[in-house]
A = this chain, B = another copy of it.
Amino acid sequence: MSVGIRHDDLRRRNRAMVISAVRRAGHPSRTEIAATTGLSHSTISAISSDLIQEGILAESRGSETVSLKRGRPQVGLSLNPEAAAVLALVLSLNFLSVAVIDYAGQVVAEEQRRLDTLTMSRDELIGECVAIVRRRLEDPDLDVQSVARIALAIQGITDSHARAMLWSPITPQTNIAFADILEDEFGIPATMENDCNMMAVALRWRDPDRYRDDFIAILLSHGIGMGLVLKGELFTGTHSSGGEFGHMIHRPGGALCRCGRRGCVEAYAGNYAIWRNARQLSENAEPVADVSDADMRALAARARETDGPEREAYRKAGEALGFGLGSLFALIDPAPVAMVGASAAAFDLIEPALREAIAQTAGGQHSGSISFDTEPNELPLIREGCAMRALSFVDQEIFAPGVQARGGSAGKNVA
């Protein structure tokens, strides 16, 4: 049950609102903030004066303030980069990357490592993550005290409290409470995020005009993932990160999926599935562990060239994605879609069958008007999403304390 609003919550919330207005707008003046938040000028003045004194905001006077209007010029407020820092970790197949981001959102340091995630033990996997964080924290250029948050994104299913990885295709290990492990190790609040959810968060920051309240980010990669924003909030399952679009059932009892079940969308549209179909292997053939990007590019090239099994494989992928999206649209109505990942570069091969399939579904009423965007590079997107999510936590918790406790559900407030 929702709890009453105390008197002191008021200031906290309005402080958080001012901070988020500055983060969104870049260099808004106090007057602009008053307009977007609906609060009075006096309130904004009081709050921003506090925030400046606390070193959270800074006046960015001069600079490009070419005031053409007459009257007292506006003085822009900006985030003080030194107010805090966050770490964005991304763990994907055979790859671990970390970035240190200042409070204004600029990357100040980064590091990447190749691993063999599929064969690593539980302890090795945890050890690598802890080690890479430790190395960044030991960087003499970094004020350790200022590091206020760590966000770790992983390909796979996480719990809805953003504490643990439950299952992931990149490792046989399950149920690793990465967030708790990192918190215990470094004493810095941490969250465990799903990679596709972070893609969605990043898209929202990158292009708020296109990706605002309702949109879908689909990762076309070895597996199929999805990040979903509905009514302005990141969608998650009741217990896990949810949104396992790739494991909706396309054909009951159909092709063998990497997850061991049959007929999932991914069993037709994941890289391994396209590969399997292009090679004309049986639908029951064991999914291969990895297909290189180069191999997939070659496959796509051949599909574009001749009408052979490669083209048919992409057609089947499109069909599976189309019927899957159709079922999804039956539930949530159509929304803009971003296709992310290496195979998004082959979306030209996928789109015709996808649209044809979608037209046969409940979501197909407006199938013509559904727009697809492609973005072949998922990694920067995931990292950016992680960073923004961690920063939003800092905004809300550290600098406007008491609104939420530690951790925070993965569901509320798209970072």
Contact = CB atoms under 8 A, between A and B. Distances in A.
B251 A252 contact: yes
Residues of A in contact with B, size category: 35 or more
Contact of A249 (B3, B213, B326): B326
Nearest to A43: B4
Q: How many copies does the complex hold?
A: 2
Nearest to A336: B238
B327 A248 contact: yes
A72 interface: no
B261 A362 contact: yes
Nearest to A252: B323
A328 B326 contact: no
A7 B361 CA distance: 48
A38 interface: yes
A330 B324 CA distance: 12
A38 B3 contact: yes
B37 A249 contact: no
A45 B365 CA distance: 54
A310 interface: no
Nearest to A326: B249
Contacts of A326: 249
Given A244-B362, A252-B250, A253-B360, A36 B335 contact: no
Contacts of A247: 330, 361-362
A238 B335 contact: yes
Nearest to A246: B330
A239 B39 contact: no
Contact of A244 (B36, B331, B411): B331
4 tightest A-B contacts by CB?
Answer: A237-B333, A247-B362, A4-B39, A4-B37
Given A1-B24, A5-B10, A249-B323, 16 more contacts: A1-B36, A4-B13, A4-B38, A238-B332, A239-B334, A242-B332, A244-B330, A244-B331, A245-B330, A247-B361, A248-B327, A249-B326, A249-B360, A252-B357, A261-B364, A262-B360
